[in-house]
Every structure is written in C-alpha cells, then in structure tokens.
Amino acid sequence: MAQAARGRLAVAGGLLAAGILHALSFAPGPLPGWLLPLLHLVTLAVLVRASLTAATPRRAAWGGWLFGLGMFCTGVYWLYISMHTYGFMPAPLAAGGVLALSVYLALYPALAAGLTRWLLAPGAAASTPRIALTWAAAWAAGEWLRATVFTGFPWLNAGYAHVDSPLAGWASIVGVHGVAFAAALSAAALALLWPALGAAGRDGGPRVIGLRHGAAVLATGIALGGWGLAQIQWWRPAGEPLRTLLVQGAVDQNDKFDPALLQAGLQRHLALAARPAQDAANPPALIVLPETIMPVFQDRLAPAVWQAWIDLAGQRDAAILMGAPIHARAANTITNSVIRIDGDTALADLQAGQPGHRYDKRHLVPFGEFIPPGFRWFVEAMSIPLGDFNRGPARQTPFSVDGQHVALNICYEDVFGEELLPALFPGDDGSPGATILVNVSNLGWFGDSWALRQHLQIARLRTLETARPMLRATNTGATAVIGPDGVVQAELRAMHAGTLDVSVQGTSGLTPYARVGNVPAVGGIVLILAFAAWRRRARHG
C-alpha cells in the first residue's frame, strides 16, 4: 500500500511539473519560439496518458487539476505584479489572488481529463481515432468554456502555442478553438505512440501495433492538413498602403496616475507623436497612441492640453487615435475609449466627450472596468483607480483614414476572436468592413513580464483568423505590426519609449472562420462528445 501511495504521489508530482513546463509553451522568452509547439504537445501528451490510464474518472480529474494548477500559476504569474507592485496589495493577498484564480482555471483541464476517462474506460476496445477525437473534444470543450463562463478568461488557450507550427493553418478555418482541438488531437496521437495503454498492450500485440500506426497516420494528417491550409491566401490587398506612426510611451505605471507627473507623461507622448517622419515625402497619415494615455476623464483636463493635440493633427495632416477614459456628459456615461483627433476637431466636442469618432470598449475587464457582485472588498484592497464602465456596442463603425478602414479593439479584447468579426462586415448604416485592425493596450500593469509576449502571440493568431493586418500601440510593449499571415513585420523594444514609422497594406476578403465564427468548431466538439456518450451508454447497456 505504501508503494502504491508513493506511485500516486510520483504521478501527481509529474503532472504538476508537466503543467509548469506546459505554461512555457505559450510565448517565446524562456525558450525559443521553434521549440514551443513541440513542448506543448509533449507536456499535453503526458496528461493524455495519465487520463486514459487513471483508475477512475475522479483520479483522472484530479490529475488534470494538478496539471492545470501548475500551468496557470506559472502562465499568469504576472497578475501578482499588477496587484502587489502597482496595486500595493499585501504580498500574501496578491499571491493568494493568483492562486485562487489558478485553482478555478484548473477546473477546466480537470473537466477534460475526467470526462475523457469517463467516456473511455481503460481496456475498452477503441480505435485510435475514437480515443484521440474524444480527448481532443473534451479538451477543446474545456477551452471554449473557459473563454465563455464568467465573461471568459481564454489566456493560454492551446491554439496560441501553435502560431508557428503547421497547426496554425487551421486558424483561418475553425479559429483558435479549432486549433486547440487539432493540438489536443496531435497530443493524443503522440500519447498513443508510447508503450501500450493498459494490460492489452504489455505484450505488444496487434491492438498496440494498430494504435501506434493509427496514431502516426493521424498526427501526420493533422500537420499536413494545417500546412496545406496555410498555403491558401484568403486576403487580397485593399487600397494603397497606409503610412502609420505607432507610439510607445513607456510611462512607468506608478507615475501614470500620479497627478504631479500627469503633465510630464502627456508631454512625452506629444513629443513622440511629433517626431519627424522617416520619409518626408510620405509622412504618416495615422498616428496611434496607447490605451489611456490620458489617465483621467477628458473633462478634467485643461483646454490647452486638447488644443495641443488638435494643433499637432493639423500640422501633420494626420488622424490621431488615442486611448482615453471618456465621460460623455449628455448621456452621463463613462467608457474606456479610443478617440480620433483631426486638425478640424472642435475643442468643445472633445471636452464634452463627443469627438467626431470614437470607439468604446465592449468587453470589460472584471475588477478593472467593472466590479463583480460581492467583490467590492477585493477592489478596495488595491490602490488602483477602478470603476464601473459602460460597454460599447458589438459593431462600431471603423475609422476611415486615406482609403483604409480601421477597426479598434482595446487591451484584452483581442483575446476574444469571435468578437472582432462583426467589424469585418459592412454595417447596417452602409459603413464598409475593416481593412486593418488596431489594438491599443497598456500592459504596464504587468511590468517587463511574460504577459507582453503572450499578448503578442494572441494578436498574431487573430490576424490568421481574420486575414487582416493588426497594429499594436502599447505603453510598454509589445508595440508591433503584424501582417495578415501572422508574421511580425516590425516591433519596438519592450519597456523603452519609441515610435514605429511603418507602411501598412490593408486587406479585404473573408476567411471561412470570419464568415461563421466558432459555430463549426463548437458544433463539432458537441457532436463528438455526444457520440462518445452514446457509445458509452451502449457499452454499459
């Protein structure tokens, strides 16, 4: 019995360690980018094998939870920085907050592992496709639920580990959840290539050989299918390239909301935006600044502050997009917004919160932009200016600049891929669909952490789903230009002030994913799980 207990403890420790290593696969940094997809599949295969060989579904779920705990404690450690370093929350409480979130998020891998073991009893006669499809559907279902329940937290979705692998080709067809399904399918195939599952495999009999051959064929087919899909160009150039200046202010988060330093931060951004163009004959027609470079509501700033930006827009003959919290007096609403400033923008309209064109954030951050019921105490423990913001509508008219149509998203809105799709289509008001996506963020809350690289990987997959280039203007990084093929074309060094003066080609055309969203992926997952449940019921009478 003691030996059995030691064995279970070793398995538990191995799964926790595998989860920790799994977290390293979602962005380059500790490891080079080329290694990430392989690490992701190998560590996930460890969980697949543990789930399929667990004595009971409860044991499998426990193993999945340990794997998830290691994964999320490691992968989102940077939340501690925002709560403790910048929110001044006591270290034990901040660490407890990260742990509590990880405990919750680990329930989804637990669900996938337990459900797989319940549907596939050890020793049951099942083919390689059935085993792999059941696991992949259970895992992808957990990923989709995690992205949906309680407004969703889809960070560290399996799909983001494969932006640079052949599986990325599936993104244009079935989106990130489809890529997650393909990754889980590949991990299951890898697990089945290991020594046989259960007693039936210890003799290396025909079933084992069949499982291994089937697994090899399945893994090869998934990769080749993704590679082939990646060769299809779903987009075509739209209009002329748009000369754009992206600004990265690198204002320390502790300074950003200090009233004594507010003016210095604004002057830094103004000076960066006013830098001479690289090509005087082709100056930027669009200048993009990060989220909330104005850290207070627009009606609390002196008129001279806004006039300086209007004057700059006029001098440069450019449209300036900047993040600012807006108090719209007439509607009595507050929003996290991006506003457009042109040389002819009326000062009175800006101060009233009614510029000619603005984008209002629609997917708000829990605790940051709205306070969930019962958690007021948690917010009060942090010295961060938080509040309850109003949400923007699902589709908002893209900003038109020199023939290009620019659709905005703010901060982690680009984590929710399906929510970006309405902007790609013409609006009911006759406005055209977007040809360029722009994300403005302030990841200064997380310091020089892994969050910056993780967010860039997420944005890269969004471009594959939508066949649109994405511009990212951030306070501390990663400020970058990403092509419609997911390739980073230019990037600023993180945590340093600077600008990117770039030419961006807008695109048109719709991927299959853009047309139908998550419906095929989620529908397929549900059908596979329903079939597996039916087979289980038939097996057990």
Interatomic CA distance for residues 325 and 335, integer angstroms: 6
Amino acid at 205: G
- Please name the residues in contact with 495: beta carbons below 8 A apart, sequence gap of 6 or more: 250, 448, 476, 477
Kindly state the DSSP code that residue 356 receives in the 8-state scheme.
Answer: S
Assigned token pair, 381: 């423990």
Return contacts of 73-77, CB within 8 angstroms, 24+ apart.
Answer: 73/20, 73/98, 73/99, 73/102, 74/19, 74/20, 74/23, 74/24, 75/23, 75/26, 75/155, 75/156, 75/450, 75/454, 76/101, 76/102, 76/105, 76/155, 76/156, 76/451, 77/449, 77/450
Residue pair 390/335 in contact (Cβ under 8 Å)? The answer is yes
Cα 299 to Cα 202, 302, 327: the distances in Å are 74, 8, 7
Bridge partners of 501, per DSSP, are: 245
H or E segment to which residue 409 belongs: strand 404-410
Assigned token pair, 83: 């709560």
Assigned token pair, 433: 């669909």
Interatomic CA distance for residues 123 and 277, integer angstroms: 68
Interatomic CA distance for residues 63 and 14, integer angstroms: 9
Residue 121's Cα: distance from chain center in Å?
35
C-alpha closest to that of 404 among 245, 240, 281, 287: 240
- Please name the residues in contact with 537: beta carbons below 8 A apart, sequence gap of 6 or more: none
The dihedrals phi and psi of 343, each to the nearest 5 degrees, come to: -65, -25
Interatomic CA distance for residues 460 and 15, integer angstroms: 29
Assigned token pair, 87: 């929110």
- Please name the residues in contact with 360: beta carbons below 8 A apart, sequence gap of 6 or more: 326, 335, 336, 337, 390, 391, 392, 393, 396
User: So which residues are the catalytic ones?
Assistant: 291, 361, 411
Three-state secondary structure call for residue 346: coil
Answer positive or negative: Cα dihedral of 74, 419, 273, 260.
Answer: negative
